[in-house]
Amino acid sequence: MTPPLTRDLINEGIRVNTILPGNFESPMMAGMPKRVQGSIAAMAPFPKRLGKAAEYAECALFLLGHDHMNGECVRPDDMIHMGRR
The answer to pTM > 0.85 is no
Listed by start position, the domains of the chain span 2-74
Q: 71's torsion region: left (phi>0), alpha (psi -120 to 50) or beta?
A: left
Amino acid occupying residue 75? R
Alpha helices (H) along 1-85 = 2-9, 27-30, 34-42, 53-65
pLDDT per residue as tens digits for the range 6-65: 999 999 999 999 999 989 999 999 999 999 999 999 988 888 899 999 999 999 999 999
CB 16 within 8 A of CB 6: yes
Q: 40's torsion region: left (phi>0), alpha (psi -120 to 50) or beta?
A: alpha
